[in-house]
Amino acid sequence: MDNLSRDNLKERIRNAPGNDIVSVISEHLDLQRKGSTYVGLCPFHPDTHPSMSVNPNMQIFKCFACGAGGDVFKFLQMRENLTFPQALERLGLRAGIEVNFRPKREPRTAASDPNMLLRVNNWAQRYFRQKFLDKTLGETAREYCRQRELGDELIEQWGLGYCPDSWDDMSKAAMKAGISENLLIESGISVKTKNGTLMDNYKHRLIFPIIDTMGNYIGFGGRTLGDDKRKYVNSPANAIFDKSNCVYGLDKARHAVVRDKFAVLVEGYTDVIMSHHFGFDNVVAALGTSVTDGQIRLIKRFAGQVVMLLDSDIAGRAAADRALSVCIRQGVDVKAAFVPDGKDPCEFLLSAGEDAMRDVIDGAVDVFDFKWRHLKEEIEADGSTVEKHSSTVDFLRFVAEALAAGSIDDISRGLLVRRLAGLTGMSVEQINTRLERLSGNAGRNMVQASENRQVKSFKPGNSAMEKAVWEIVEVIINAPSNIDSIREYIEPGKLDDIYLKEVTAALLKLYDAKGCDFTLADLLAEIEETELASFLVKLADEGEKKQFYTERIHSAVELIKYNRKAEAIKSAQASDSDQFMQAIKELKDLHKSNGKNLRLDTLDKW
C-alpha cells in the first residue's frame, strides 16, 4: 500500500462515527461528562480519582497524573499493547473498513499478532455456531441447553456453540480455511499430541464465547458434555486473552453496571446468562474459581462496588475472604450475598424466581461486617478476653496485609479506618497505629505495577537548536497558522533528535496536505510512538498556558537563523574566503538587529 492511500485510509478510519475517541475509550472505562470534556479512572496507572480526561472536540485523551496522552490510536496501542498498524487495523475492523496494510516485519502467519488471533477466533465462533445448529451433530448440546431452560433466543444472544465429538474435525477444517498450525495452537483451538498430530481442544464441549468490552471474541470457555474430568476448558493465555484479566458478560453488562453503580459477580457462564434473562443485567462472572486483582480492576473502571453472589457454605465464606482482600487492595467496595439451599444462581432463579433473587441481592452484606461478625461470634462463644484480643489483631492483620499490597488512596484509607474503629470499638488513632505497625508502614506508599505498559517519560533534546525547534512545535500545535512563517526554517533532515525529526516531518507533511488547517489529533495520527504522543499532548497543554505565540516563534526563528550563519562560517572557513567574509557580514547585521535575543560569543571572536 502506498503512503497516499495509507493516509487516506487512516483518515477514514479515524473519522468513522463509531471510532470517536469518547465511544472507543468508554468501552474500556466509565467516562463521566464534565463540561465539554469527559473524565474517568486512568487505566495506565493505579488511579483512584478520575485523572484521565477525554476531549471530544480535540479527539485526544490525557492523564493528569501519569502523563499518558494521545489520540484514539495511541489509546488502543497502550491499552492493548498493539503496534500502530495493529491499532489501525483494529479500528478499521470496528468501522467495517478492510485494512490490508501490513508491514514486512509482520508476516501474515505470525503468531502473537493480536489481530490474527482475533480473525482465527472469528472463524472458530462461526464453526462452533454452525455445529451447534447442525441437525444431528448439535443435538447433544441443544438437549443440554433445553434441560437448563436456555431458550433459542438466549443461545443466539450469547452466541453459544458446540465442538463436535471428534478428535480433529475442527483442526482439519481450520487448516483447510488456511489457518496455520502455530495459530491453531496459540489460539487454543488445537493441541499437539505426543506423536505430533493436532487434536481438537474443545472436543465434545458446549462453547461459551468470551467477548471483551469492544465486542471482540477474545477467547472461549468449553463445558464438557461427556465424562471428561476437566469440566471446563478455557482458551490458553495469548496476545488477546488472559483469563485473570477477563470478566465474562461485561460486554453486555457494562452499561447496567455504570447505571447501577455496582456489578454482581457470579461464578458460572449459565449464571450470567440466566441472570440477564431475568432482568439482572449487571451480572458478570469471574473466569476461574477465585476473583483476581485484574478482574476487579476491570470492573472498577465501570463501578466502585461489587456484590458477590456466593454459595452459603464454607467454600462461599472462603471465596468471600479472598474477594475481600482483592477488593481492599484495589480500593473497591465489596458486599456478599448468599444464595440459599446450596443452589447456584441459575438454579435458584429457575426455582425461586426473580423476586426471591432480588431479595438475595438487596440483602447483600458488607464483607467487612460479615468477616467481623464471624470473628465476634467466635469470640462470644468462647468468652475470653485474650481470645478477643487476638481475633482483633487477626482481623487488623488481614486488613493491613491487603492495604500493603494495594494502592488505596488516603481518603479511602481514612474511611476504612473509621469503619474498623466502629466495628472493633477501638479509636481511629489506635487502629492507625496498629495497621501501620502490622504492615511495617508499607501500606501508605506501595504502588502496584499497572497491568498495562508503563508510560515511559520522554525527554526532548537539549541543545539550543533543539530547544528552539521544540519551542516552534509547541506553538504550532496550538496555533497552526504560524507554520506559514516558519516553514523555511524547519529542516527535519538536519535534526539529530530522532523524535524532533519525526514530529517536524509530520508537521511539514500536514502543512503540505492541509495548509494551516490541521489539528493536534491530525498530528498525533502521524506519530506512531505512544511516548512521543504523550509528550506532544503535554506540550500542547503547556504551550497553551504560556501563550505569546508570535513572540516565541520570533525568538526561536532568530536563534535558528543565527545557528545557520554560524554553521555557514564553519564550513566556509576552510574553503572560500569571500564567501566566508560575506557570511561574517550577514551575521553581524543579524546581530545588530536582534542582538539582545542572541548569544553571539562565537561571532565576537572575528
Q: Looking at beta carbons only, is 44 or 499 nearer to Zn ion?
A: 44
The bridge status of strand 333-339 relative to strand 365-366 is antiparallel
**H or E element that contains 79:** helix 72-80
CB of 99 to Zn ion, least distance (A): 29
H helical segments located in 81-113: 84-95
The C-alpha angle 364, 295, 316, rounded to 5 degrees, equals 40
CB of 455 to Zn ion, least distance (A): 7
Q: Looking at beta carbons only, is 10 or 45 nearer to Zn ion?
A: 45
Nearest one of 268, 263, 220 to 241, comparing CA atoms: 220
Q: Looking at beta carbons only, is 61 or 208 nearer to Zn ion?
A: 61
Query: What is 536-586 written as a DSSP string?
Result: HHHHHHHHHHH--HHHHHHHHHHHHHHHHHHHHHHHHTTS-HHHHHHHHHH
Written as nine digits, the cell of 45 is 496507572
The Cα–Cα gap between 120 and 564 comes to: 56
The residue with cell 498556558 is 545
Q: Looking at beta carbons only, is 424 or 530 nearer to Zn ion?
A: 530
The Cα–Cα gap between 19 and 25 comes to: 9
The Cα–Cα gap between 100 and 105 comes to: 14
CB of 284 to Zn ion, least distance (A): 25
CB of 519 to Zn ion, least distance (A): 23
Nearest one of 286, 279, 288 to 306, comparing CA atoms: 286
Q: Looking at beta carbons only, is 48 or 216 nearer to Zn ion?
A: 48
Written as nine digits, the cell of 314 is 464454607
Q: Looking at beta carbons only, is 436 or 451 nearer to Zn ion?
A: 451
Whether 105 contacts 164, CB under 8 Å: no
CA atoms within 13 A on the CB side of 509: 16
Q: Looking at beta carbons only, is 45 or 252 nearer to Zn ion?
A: 45
Max CA distance (Å), the chain: 105
CB of 537 to Zn ion, least distance (A): 12
CB of 64 to Zn ion, least distance (A): 8
CB of 41 to Zn ion, least distance (A): 9
Q: Looking at beta carbons only, is 238 or 412 nearer to Zn ion?
A: 412
Q: Looking at beta carbons only, is 284 or 298 nearer to Zn ion?
A: 298
CB of 27 to Zn ion, least distance (A): 18
CB of 244 to Zn ion, least distance (A): 22
Cα–Cα distance list, 134 to 141, 151, 202 (Å): 10, 17, 17
Nearest one of 304, 217, 291 to 257, comparing CA atoms: 304
Q: Looking at beta carbons only, is 411 or 464 nearer to Zn ion?
A: 411
CB of 405 to Zn ion, least distance (A): 20
DSSP letter at 47 equals: -
Q: Looking at beta carbons only, is 116 or 455 nearer to Zn ion?
A: 455
CB of 51 to Zn ion, least distance (A): 5
The residue with cell 486512568 is 42
CB of 301 to Zn ion, least distance (A): 12
For residues 131-166, one letter each, b for 16 or more C-beta atoms within 10 angstroms of the residue's C-beta and e for the rest, the string is bbeeeebbebbbeebeeeebeeebbeebbbbbbbee
Q: Looking at beta carbons only, is 39 or 42 nearer to Zn ion?
A: 42
Nearest one of 559, 581, 580, 562 to 571, comparing CA atoms: 580
**H helices then E strands: how many in the chain?**
27, 17
Interface positions with Zn ion (CB under 5 A): 42, 44-45, 63, 65-66, 68
- Bridge partners of 190, per DSSP, are 200
Whether 98 contacts 9, CB under 8 Å: no
Contacts of 479 (CB under 8 A, 6+ apart): 549
Written as nine digits, the cell of 6 is 495509507
Q: Looking at beta carbons only, is 63 or 264 nearer to Zn ion?
A: 63
- Provide the residue type at 153 as one letter: E
Grouping H, G, I as helix, E, B as strand and the rest as coil, residue 330 is: helix
CB of 456 to Zn ion, least distance (A): 13
Q: Looking at beta carbons only, is 81 or 594 nearer to Zn ion?
A: 81
Q: Whats the size of the chain, residue-wise? A: 606
Whether 302 contacts 352, CB under 8 Å: no
The Cα–Cα gap between 118 and 247 comes to: 18
Grouping H, G, I as helix, E, B as strand and the rest as coil, residue 384 is: coil
CB of 50 to Zn ion, least distance (A): 10
CB of 63 to Zn ion, least distance (A): 3
CB of 521 to Zn ion, least distance (A): 19
The Cα–Cα gap between 39 and 559 comes to: 40
Q: Looking at beta carbons only, is 44 or 395 nearer to Zn ion?
A: 44
The C-alpha angle 283, 37, 333, rounded to 5 degrees, equals 35
Written as nine digits, the cell of 44 is 495506565
Q: Looking at beta carbons only, is 65 or 505 nearer to Zn ion?
A: 65
